[in-house]
Amino acid sequence: MGEWFIDFLTLSAQHPAFVIVAVALCTFVLEDAATVGAALLAAEGILPVPAAIAGLFIGITLGDLGLYGLGALARRWQWAASRIGTHRLGRGQDWLAGRLLPAIFLARVTPGLRVPSYLASGYLGVSFIRFASLAVIAVGAWSMGAFALVFYFGQVAQAWLGQFSWIAGITLLAAVISWPYILRWRTKS
């Protein structure tokens, strides 16, 4: 890589607005990997901690609200309503209305549940204010807790492994990325 590119990344990492936008965009690609990467880079002192946390919080929250919005948009398509049926739609609304808090928190911590749960919340017409409030709390509790744990892991790895701490970071990142696939593979067999 060119020296100019390394200089650009180094300077950019010190500008909080750039870090916030970059980390937020990364959450749209793979939320868990963005969390692990931002926390490890912050633990190394490469990213400012407040900017990394702000980027994660903004990106994850916008992603959650976007999924709700896509579900709400799908409600306008007659094709979707005809596939579900009005009776099942009513049952789904009643069921989710009484269980929104555990549904959102369970979806936040269980791989593979967030997308269908948040789409369903929008499609079934759950109150946006209620959904958004619970989603923001869930992001704050779970995602920021995960950031704190990985940040601590990064600091310990740096203290123990020194210049080779990147190996522990890559191992953790690979584990986080592969975890949902391993779970799916284990449930199929």
Q: What's the pTM value of the predicted model, to 2 decimals? A: 0.76
The rounded distance, in Å, linking the Cα atoms of 17 and 50 is 11
Angle between helix axes 86-98 and 100-109 (nearest 10 degrees) is 80
pLDDT in tens, 109-125: 887 889 989 988 998 88
Over residues 63-71, the mean pLDDT reads: 95
CA nearest to 150, candidates 21, 5, 53, 11: 53
CA dihedral 61, 65, 67, 72 (to 10 degrees): 170
The rounded distance, in Å, linking the Cα atoms of 102 and 134 is 10
Tokens 């204010």 sit at which residue?
Answer: 129
Q: Looking at the predicted structure, is the pLDDT value of residue 5 above 60?
A: no
pLDDT band at 144 (very low <50, low <70, confident <90, very high): confident
Predicted pLDDT at 1? 42
Structure tokens at 181: 């696939």
Structure tokens at 174: 């690979």
Structure tokens at 23: 């980390």
pLDDT in tens, 22-54: 889 989 988 888 888 888 888 888 888 999 999
Burial of 184 (0-12, 13-18, 19+ CB in 10 A): exposed
pLDDT band at 153 (very low <50, low <70, confident <90, very high): confident
Q: Could you write out the DSSP letters of every residue in 44-67?
A: TTSS-HHHHHHHHHHHHHHHHHHH
pLDDT above 70 as % of the chain: 69
pLDDT band at 180 (very low <50, low <70, confident <90, very high): low
Q: Looking at the predicted structure, is the pLDDT value of residue 187 above 90?
A: no
Output the CA angle 183-54-160, nearest 5 degrees: 65
The rounded distance, in Å, linking the Cα atoms of 34 and 27 is 5
pLDDT in tens, 155-175: 776 666 566 656 666 676 666
Predicted pLDDT at 80? 66
Q: Looking at the predicted structure, is the pLDDT value of residue 135 above 90?
A: yes
Tokens 């923001």 sit at which residue?
Answer: 136
